[in-house]
Structure 1
Amino acid sequence: MNLLYNPWPWYVAGPLIALTMFILLYAGKKFGMSSNLTTMCSIGGAGKYSDYFKFDWKSQRWNLIVVVGAIIGGFIASQYMSDNTVKINPEVAQQLSNDYGIESAGEAYLPTELFASEQLTNPFVLVILILGGFLVGFGARYAGGCTSGHAISGLSNLQLPSLIAVIGFFIGGLVMIHLLFPLIFS
Structure 2
Amino acid sequence: MAEDSLATRTRRLLDEAKYLSLATVSTDEQPWSTVLQYAWLPDPLRFLFGSAIQSRHSNDITTRPLVSGSLFVAGNELMAVDGAQFNGVCRELSSAEVELYHATFYDAVLPDAKDRAEYTLPASALVAPAPHRLYLVEVEQWWLVDTRTWAEDRIDRRVKIPLSALTSL
TM over 0.5: no
Find the structure with the greater CA-based Rg: 1
Query: As a proportion of its length, which structure holds more helix?
Result: 1
TM bin (shorter chain): under 0.3
Query: As a proportion of its length, which structure holds more strand?
Result: 2
TM-score, scaled to structure 2: 0.26
TM-score, scaled to structure 1: 0.25
